Structure 1
Amino acid sequence: MNLRQIEVFRATMLTGSTADAARLLHVSQPGISRMIGHIELQLGVSLFERGKGRLKPTPEAHALYAEVEQVYRGVQRIDARAHALKSGGGLELRVLATPSTLQEAVPAALASLSVDYPDSRLYVETQLVREMVRLLSIGEADVGISSLPIDHAPLVTDVVGAWSLSCVFQRGHRFERESAVSLSEIVKERRIAFSPDTPQGRLVAQAYPDGIDPARQRIEVRSGQIACALAAAGAGVAVVDNLTARAWQNDRLSFRPIRKAPTYKVFRVRNPNSPSSGLENAFVQRVRQGFRALAPKRV
């Protein structure tokens, strides 16, 4: 029996007549009668006793109906699941992100996604690039948002945003009077330094290869969040990414953009062996929108 035959047989069982079954299915009564006759011929058994405009199901019909109901409930579940996909039902998204992107853009995208896809399940964790590459390569995550470029087969990347550098400092510092600050002013300050292999450390080292006073950078960090916490405590000024600077601004910490600071790209990273879901595409679209709103301005 095909699905149409199952539908006609079930409607006839529920209503007890071909006329009522036809009304239920919005088709003609002769069509229902022909279909029931064809089913009986095909199965080689009698399913109904005819009489006085009513159809009385035979034991064979009752046995068949028990199986049909299971199929019908399965079809209903499929239909319900298909409609639920619009709100994320049965879908999950596993997101990895480097720390700075989790300060504002990625959380905002996930918050919006959870509203528009209320039945989805969202997982997010911060990872450094090396671990992000491993998890995406083995299929343990769906998408990564990285503030650093990744070149690792089979992963592919595309640009979703950009970030630049800012100077953070304790409230009340003289830099608050400026709309932007220069590296030449920053290196004169007591400074929380970044390791030389970080974008922040490279920028300062390239700009002032011989002009940095080691006595002014007694604290070295690798995390923008730690640098912000130290700056807020009065340990010095620090050069951090503008994403972290914005997120950490409070009544103890302020920041200003750095003049002529380079701009760096933010990447969506994924494994092309696993097709993107609609949920992932919606997430990435929101990430792009978030970074457009946070786009660094050249000063």
Structure 2
Amino acid sequence: MNTKLLEAFRIIMQTGTVAGAAEALGRSQSAVSRMLDRLEEELQIKLFDRRKGRVLPTPEAHALIEDVERAFISLNDLGTRAKQVREGHESNLTIAVLPALGIQFVPRVMGRFSRQNPEIGVTSHVLTSQSVEQWVARHQVELGLAETPFRRSGFETWAFIDEPYVLAVHADHRLAQLDLVKIGDLRNEKLIQWTNIVAARRLLDELFQHAGVSVKSTIETSMSSAMIAMVRENLGVALIDPISAVLTRDPQVVIRRFEANVPCRIARMMPKQGYQREVVNMFLACAEQERDALLALRDW
């Protein structure tokens, strides 16, 4: 596949016009139009509707652009990697992590790691667990941290966190008076739910259905940090991962144990058939130390 044709498609999607793409590429509009025609012919997909000098992306174009963007990210990463090798920084590490760990936990790990290895750079991509799977399987990163279960192959996994979810409630909420919250205590409560892309959502739905407990779920999110902020605003209660719970430093949010054992399972992942560099093990050691130090602070 000719990358110049893909680049033309990508820039047309970004600018919205052939004229804008032509200016960005330093080519004539007719040349860009011919590139677009060639790409459609190669892919056998109609990418744009032409109407009175305008190009309107088809649904197929919208479906394709995400993969094209990822491909260009990989190419850019390759250029960065080559520069690192030229400059003697080949030990730099690239990782991908789910948001529950990427917002607060991984920066703490990076701090611990950088204090021990100031000459080694780390790039952290915060992605959904599904995207972390994909990036690790495609060798786009050397290390991933994501929620199980996984749907893909092409990587090896080891358990990193296997602890129960805990309940975050507003300090003024009636449940804050309890040390242990039972599933029946949540009957008719406003529960801030995970979106369907989070494995815990399915577990919770099955749990409440089996127990015959109805909750009010009008708010959903895929990030534990957002859940905590919503609890602070008294929008409901939320089941969050234990690492985010320990890192919660908000006096308006308290953490309580939940009687039903809803497991938070996060695994570390590395590509198969790849050379595992020592820098990966060094970073993992820091991650495990930080994990253990935080979990030791649990007061619920």
Common fold by TM > 0.5: yes
Partner of 1:242: 242
Contact kept, 8 Å, 1:170 with 1:253, in 2: the verdict is: yes
Correspondence 1:27-38 to 2 at 5 A: none
In structure 1, what is the equivalent of residue 232 of structure 2? 232
Q: Which residue of 1 aligns with 2:172?
A: 172
Segments of 5+ residues of structure 1 without an aligned counterpart are: 1-87
Q: Secondary structure, in 3 states, of the residue corresponding to 1:226?
A: helix
Asked if structure 2 preserves the Cα contact closer than 8 Å seen for 1:96 and 1:143, the reply is yes
Contact 1:98 1:126 in 2 (8 A): yes
Corresponding residue of 1:253: 253
Following the alignment from structure 1 to structure 2, what is the Cα–Cα distance between the partners of residues 98 and 218? 24
The match for 2:148 is 148
The answer to whether the Cα contact below 8 Å between 2:148 and 2:199 also exists between their aligned partners in 1 is: no
Distance in 1, Cα, partners of 2:261 & 2:151: 24
Give the CA deviation at 1:94: 0.3
| Superposition deviation, residue 111 in structure 1 | 1.1
Closer/same/farther in 2, CA of residues 251 and 184 from structure 1, 3 Å limit: same
Letter in 2 for 1:283: F
Give the deviation of 1:263 after TM superposition: 2.8
Aligned residues: 211
| Cα-to-partner distance string for 1:31-58 (whole Å, 9 max, x where unaligned) | xxxxxxxxxxxxxxxxxxxxxxxxxxxx
Is 1:162–1:266's contact at 8 Å kept on the other side of the alignment? yes
Measure how far apart 1:161 and its partner are: 2.5
Distance 2:178 2:137 in 1: 46
Distance 2:214 2:160 in 1: 37
- Asked if structure 1 preserves the Cα contact closer than 8 Å seen for 2:132 and 2:145, the reply is no
Measured in 1, the distance between the counterparts of 2:137 and 2:201 equals: 29
CA distance in 2: counterparts of 1:122 and 1:196, whole angstroms: 31
Q: C-alpha separation between the residues in 2 aligned to 1:111 and 1:273?
A: 30
State the AA in 2 paired with 1:217: S
Counterpart of 2:175, as a letter, is F
In 2: Cα distance, 1:242 partner to 1:142 partner: 25
Q: Identify the residue that residue 291 of structure 1 maps to in structure 2.
A: 291
Structure 2 unaligned segments of length 5 or more: list them: 1-87
Q: Distance in 2 between matches of 1:106 and 1:197?
A: 21
The corresponding residue for 1:213 is 214
Q: Please tell me whether the aligned partners of residues 159 and 268 of structure 1 are also in contact (alpha carbons under 8 angstroms).
A: yes
Deviation at 1:294, TM superposition (A): 4.1
Per-residue CA deviation, residues 75-94 of structure 1 (Å, 9 max, x unaligned), is xxxxxxxxxxxxx9641000
Larger Rg, first or second structure (1 or 2): 1
Asked if structure 2 preserves the Cα contact closer than 8 Å seen for 1:156 and 1:271, the reply is yes
User: Would the aligned equivalents of 1:163 and 1:243 in 2 still touch at CA under 8 Å?
Assistant: no
- C-alpha separation in 1, matches of 2:99 and 2:256: 20
Q: Deviations over 1:115-169 (max 9, x none)?
A: 1111111111211123223322332211101122335332111122323211112
Tell whether the 8 Å contact from 2:161 to 2:266 is kept in structure 1 after alignment: yes
Residues of 2 paired with 1:91 and 1:208: CA distance?
48
Letter in 1 for 2:158: D
User: What residue is the counterpart of 2:280 in the other structure?
Assistant: 280
For residues 267-288 of structure 1, what are the alpha-carbon distances to aligned partners after superposition, in whole Å with 9 as ceiling and x for unaligned?
1111132212221101112222
Higher alpha-carbon deviation: 188-197 or 281-290: 188-197
Distance 2:103 2:180 in 1: 22
Match of 1:270, SS state, is strand
Give % identity. Answer: 16
- Alpha-carbon separation, structure 2, partners of 1:188 and 1:279: 49
Partner secondary structure for residue 209 of structure 1? helix
| Letter in structure 2 aligned against 1:156 | E
Task: Check conservation: 1:161, 1:292, Cα contact below 8 A.
Answer: no
> 1:180 touches 1:258 (CA, 8 Å); kept in 2?
yes
Instruction: State the alpha-carbon separation in 2 of the partners of residues 246 and 289 from structure 1.
Output: 15
| C-alpha spacing 1:116/1:123, structure 2 compared with 1 (3 Å) | same
1:23-172 matched pairs, under 5 angstroms: 90-172=90-172
